[in-house]
Amino acid sequence: MDKVKVAVLGATGLVGQRFLDLLAGHPMFEVVAVTASPRSVGKRYKDATRWMLGPSLPEPLGDLEVLETSPKALRGCGCEVDLVFSALPSSIAREVEPELAKEGFKVVSNASALRMLDDVPLVIPEVNPEHLKLIEVQQERRGWRGFVVTSPNCSTSILTLTLKPLMDHIGIKEVHVTTMQAVSGAGYSGVPSMAIVDNVIPFISGEEEKLQREPLKILGKLSDDHVEKAELKVLASCNRVCVVDGHLESVFLRPTRNVEVEEVKKVLEGFEGVPQQLKLPLAPVKPVVVRDEEDRPQPRLDRVVERGMAVVVGRIRCSEEWIRYMVLGNNVVRGAAGNAILIGELLVKMGRV
């Protein structure tokens, strides 16, 4: 099979770099175009990027010219672009992604701008692949030839991968979550080192709202032309901590019935979805890995499990009213580029790309 030709928007940023790293040598996708801000346009990718993922960037990609972020520039790149991965800031994505979809481009986006729109799928492939049917609603309603599918906020992806099996097998009434989020979650120039070294910042603008509303859409039921939100209350407190990659979340969850630790563990470990059944290239064997040690998960040790595509759960405790556990996920892989690529792989298998 010929490889699907992809463009990465916002390719010089932290999520953009993860895209390029995960797409280098990918069996289904070939990167043919990269874009960034006007500051970088016209430069070679290797000259425009402060590469953060090891000693050198994937060789052939370094010579790509950074294009302007527009439908015109993608059309003129010398290749037919089959699929677009976006790692743009939300304010830019809000304008550019609809323009691209209108012009026939198929976009999988990490930006928050369009996530909560009724006709825009917000997808974790193991959790709600059926929501991709909203693409048809979107195209019909907006007259678009292409489409936009979105990938959730990083903390949302990590939490919701654990909520889905617990909701299906045990039932959940309420979730309280406190996050300890890595600095890479704020992008390359997001948090000044003088603010975060030797410190914890107990506020991340807009994050609690996203973490409280996005899981309800992802866990909701598709009903014709929209998603009926899940009946579940999520309360969040978000903190920035001095860790490079990997968000750790402390979860208190009120189940609909009493459960034992062994049952919770079995439900989480047994979870799998369509990506595992289809053996998609980036699918982890187990999307949720459970560790028994009393001091796991930890960002430095567990953010690389299954190439960053699995979330790692530990410290499961059950009392009469609550299940408590810690979950760790790689915010730039499962929380961003990796989840988006998995959506792309699924779209290819479904024949939508």
Strand order in the sheet with 66-67: 66-67, 29-35, 4-9, 83-86, 106-109, 147-150
Is residue 174 within 8 A of residue 144, CB to CB? The reply is: no
Q: How far is the CB of 4 from ligand NAP (least distance, A)?
A: 21
Q: Would residue 26 show up in a list of annotated catalytic residues for this protein?
A: no
Where is 6: in which H helix or E strand? strand 4-9
What residues are paired with 150 via a beta bridge?
109, 122
Our finding on whether 57 is near ligand NAP (CB under 6 A) is no
Our finding on whether 340 is near ligand NAP (CB under 6 A) is no
Q: How far is the CB of 102 from ligand NAP (least distance, A)?
A: 18
Show the DSSP H helices in the chain as ranges: 14-23, 45-48, 71-75, 90-102, 134-142, 154-169, 193-196, 207-218, 261-269, 274-277, 299-302, 338-349
Pairing, β 147-150 against β 106-109:
parallel
Mark the segment that binds ligand NAP (CB under 6 A) among 98-106, 171-179, 185-193, 305-313: 185-193
In the list 81, 110, 119, 328, the residue contacting ligand NAP (rule: CB under 6 A) is: 110
Our finding on whether 14 is near ligand NAP (CB under 6 A) is yes
State how far the Cα of 336 lies from the Cα of 152, in Å rounded to an integer. 7
Contact residues for 179 (Cβ-Cβ < 8 A; gap 6+): 155, 207, 211, 236, 237, 238, 239, 247, 248, 249, 250
Our finding on whether 162 is near ligand NAP (CB under 6 A) is no
Pairing, β 323-329 against β 29-35:
unpaired
**Contacting ligand NAP within 300-329 (CB under 6 A):** none
Our finding on whether 107 is near ligand NAP (CB under 6 A) is no
Is residue 105 within 8 A of residue 81, CB to CB? The reply is: yes
Mark the segment that binds ligand NAP (CB under 6 A) among 25-33, 85-93, 212-220, 274-282: 85-93
In the list 273, 287, 335, 344, the residue contacting ligand NAP (rule: CB under 6 A) is: 335
Mark the segment that binds ligand NAP (CB under 6 A) among 71-79, 195-203, 263-271, 332-340: 332-340
Our finding on whether 184 is near ligand NAP (CB under 6 A) is yes
In the list 177, 211, 313, 332, the residue contacting ligand NAP (rule: CB under 6 A) is: 332
Is residue 344 within 8 A of residue 108, CB to CB? The reply is: yes
Residue of closest CB approach to ligand NAP = 13
In the list 6, 15, 84, 163, the residue contacting ligand NAP (rule: CB under 6 A) is: 15
Our finding on whether 179 is near ligand NAP (CB under 6 A) is no
Which of 27/38 has CB closer to ligand NAP? 38
Is residue 155 within 8 A of residue 247, CB to CB? The reply is: yes
Set 77, 131, 238, 247: catalytic member: 247
Q: How far is the CB of 329 from ligand NAP (least distance, A)?
A: 10
Set 131, 154, 238, 318: catalytic member: 154
How many chain residues interact with ligand NAP (CB under 6 A)?
Answer: 30
State how far the Cα of 34 lies from the Cα of 7, in Å rounded to an integer. 6
First to last CA, the chain: 13
Residues contributing to the site for ligand NAP (CB under 6 A): 10-16, 36-37, 39-40, 69, 87-90, 92, 110-112, 153-154, 184-185, 187-188, 331-332, 335-336
Q: Please list the active-site residues.
A: 154, 247
